[in-house]
Chain A
Amino acid sequence: MTAGLVRLLLALTVAGLVHLTSILAMPWLAPKAGYMRLSPLAKVNEFSVVPAREVEAALPFSDPALANAVCRYGLESGPVRVRVSVGRESVSVLFLQRGTGIYQSYSDRAATQGVLELVVATPEQMRKITAFDADDEPVQEIRVMSEVETGLVLVRAVVPTPSRRAEVEALVGSATCEAESLER
C-alpha cells in the first residue's frame, strides 16, 4: 500500500517536471516557431521587404494590412546600427531572437525628427560604446542589448489602404541595418 502511494507520488512529480520542462523548452525546440519561419527570408545586415504573400505563406495569423521588412543582424564584427524613417506612418521596430521571440519593440513614438535610430550590441560592445559617450551630450540613439550575436530586426508598418502599399513598403524597405566598427 505504502509502496503504491510512493510510486503515485513519484509519477506525479515526474509528470510535473516533464510538463514544466517541455513548456519552457517549447520556444527553443519548436521548428515552426515564428523566428524560425521568418529567418530564411532575411539577409545579413541588410533590410529586404518581404511581400505580403510571402509573409502570409510563412507566418500563420499574420496581418495582411502590414508592410514588412526584415534584417538579420550579425554582431561578430561590431554593433549594428538600425535607421528607420517613419514619416507619418504607424511604424514599429521589433527585435527577435531564437527561443525568446520578440525581446524588444519600439514604435515611431520613440523617433526623433522622423527617424528611429537604434544600435544593437552585445553586452561587451555596449560597455565600449558607453565608455565613448561624452558626459555633456545627450545620447540620441536607442540602445538595444542582444545577449546573442545574431537575431532579427523586423520593421512593420500599417498599410491603411491597398493603394498605398507600394509607398509604405518603400518606406520600410528604406531602413538600414549596418555593422559599425568600434575603433575610432
Chain B
Amino acid sequence: MTKLVWTFLALLAGAALGLGLTAIAVERPPNFGVVEAGAWVTRPKIGSIDADPYSQALHAAQGNIPLGASEGVELTAAIDTAGQRLDSRCAYRFHGPVPASRYWTLTAYRPDGALAGGMERRSGFTSAEVVRDQTGNAEIWLSPTPRPGNWIPLPGSGTFDLSLRLYDTQVSSNARAIDAANVPRLERVACP
C-alpha cells in the first residue's frame, strides 16, 4: 500500500515538475537558436511554420503576432549594450548603423507589451521620420525628460523593452548576417 502511495506521489511530482518547467520556459524562454548581437536578440524563423516549439509557445502565451518570415526581421532588446536591464528612469542613446532595409521602426514597450507612451505620446520612430546626421545615421534618445532631436519619452518607472523591426530586409536572421558590429548601440547615458 505504502509503495502505491509513493509511486503515486512520484507521478504527481513529475507532472508538477513538467508544468513548472513549461511555466519557466514561457516566462524566461531558453535561447535555443536565438541570434544575439550586442543588446539585440532575434528568433529566426519565428514568423513561419518552421519556428521552434519554444518560440511558438512563447508567442502564444504572449499573444503577439510576429513578423512574417518574408515580411522582415525583428530584433528585440531588454538590456543595453553594457548588459544592464532597460530602465524607464534612465536616459539611453540609440545610435549606429541599422542593417539595410526598406523601412525600419524602433518601438518602446512596457513589460506587458503596451506602448511605452500609451495612446497619446510617441512610443517610437520609423526610418522615414527620424532626423539623421551627416553620415546618414540616426541618433535617438530615450528618456523620461525631453531631449532635443529624436526623442522617445519613457514612462519614468519600471522596465521597458525595445523592438527594432527591419521591413523588407536583405538580412536573414539565421544567416549570422547580424552581429554586434552592424547593429545600433544602446548606451545608458544617465540614471538617477
Contact = CB atoms under 8 A, between A and B. Distances in A.
Given A26-B61, A90-B168, A158-B103, A14 B109 contact: no
Nearest to A92: B71
A102 B48 contact: yes
Interface residues of B, number: 57
Nearest to B8: A7
B70 A107 contact: yes
Contacts of B129: 160-162
A7 B12 CA distance: 11
Interface stretch (B51-59, B86-94, B138-146, B173-181): B51-59
B107 interface: yes
Interface string A1-45: 001000110111111111101111011001011111110000000
A173 to B, nearest CB: 18
A94 B71 contact: yes
B105 to A, nearest CB: 5
A158 B63 contact: no
A157 B47 CA distance: 16
Contact of A12 (B6, B14, B65, B102): B14
B100 interface: no
Contact of B21 (A7, A15, A65, A106): A15
Contacts of A132: none
A71 interface: no
Contacts of B66: 101-102
B65 A101 contact: yes
Interface stretch (A53-61, A76-84, A117-125, A174-182): A53-61
A64 B49 contact: no
Q: How large is the interface on A (under 10, 10 to 19, 20 to 34, 35 or more residues)?
A: 35 or more
A63 B167 CA distance: 11
B82 interface: no
A62 B110 CA distance: 12
B128 interface: yes
Interface centre among B7, B57, B123, B124 (most CB of A within 10 A): B57
Contact of B15 (A18, A24, A33, A90): A18
Contacts of A24: 53, 57
A111 interface: no
Interface stretch (B33-41, B113-121, B184-192): B113-121
B113 A61 contact: yes
A60 B64 contact: yes
A62 B116 CA distance: 12
B57 A62 contact: no
A35 to B, nearest CB: 8
Interface in A136-180: 154, 156, 158-162
Contacts of B7: 7, 10
A109 B168 contact: yes
A127 B72 CA distance: 32
Interface of A: 3, 7-8, 10-19, 21-24, 26-27, 30, 32-38, 53, 56, 59-65, 90, 92, 94, 96, 100-110, 154, 156, 158-162
Given A26-B57, A105-B69, 16 more contacts: A3-B3, A22-B18, A23-B22, A23-B54, A26-B22, A26-B60, A34-B63, A64-B123, A65-B124, A92-B72, A101-B56, A101-B66, A105-B47, A105-B68, A158-B102, A158-B167
